[in-house]
Amino acid sequence: AKEIMRLRDKINELINIHTGQEIDKVKKDTDRDYFMSSEEAKDYGVIDGVIYPKQKNKKNKEGSNDQAV
């Protein structure tokens, strides 16, 4: 049990360092399942960004074909 607690503390410390979240918040959030959207994960600091799929041959107002980036 002590080893599990030590590992949990180490993981929480790493999340704290890499996300900038307060250690108490990280402990609370990792105590149970904590689900978040991709935007919430970005705001939390877990991910750098969200990659969305490109849309194929979408026509703009002038009628030319543009691809969304």
Name every residue whose Cβ is closer than 8 Å to that of residue 30 and which is 6 or more positions away in sequence.
Answer: 8, 11, 12, 15
Local structure of residue 62 (DSSP, 8 states): T
CATH number at residue 6: 3.90.226.10
Name every residue whose Cβ is closer than 8 Å to that of residue 8 and which is 6 or more positions away in sequence.
Answer: 30
- Which residue type occupies 19? T
**Going by DSSP bridges, is the β-strand pair 65-66/58-59 parallel, antiparallel, or unpaired?**
antiparallel
Is 35 within 8 Å of 49 (Cβ atoms)? no
Here the tokens at position 1 are: 């049990």
pLDDT tens, position by position, 11-50: 999 999 999 999 999 999 999 999 999 999 999 999 999 9
**Residue numbers of the domain that contains 50:** 2-66
Q: Give me the number of domains the chain comprises.
A: 1
pTM of the model: 0.68
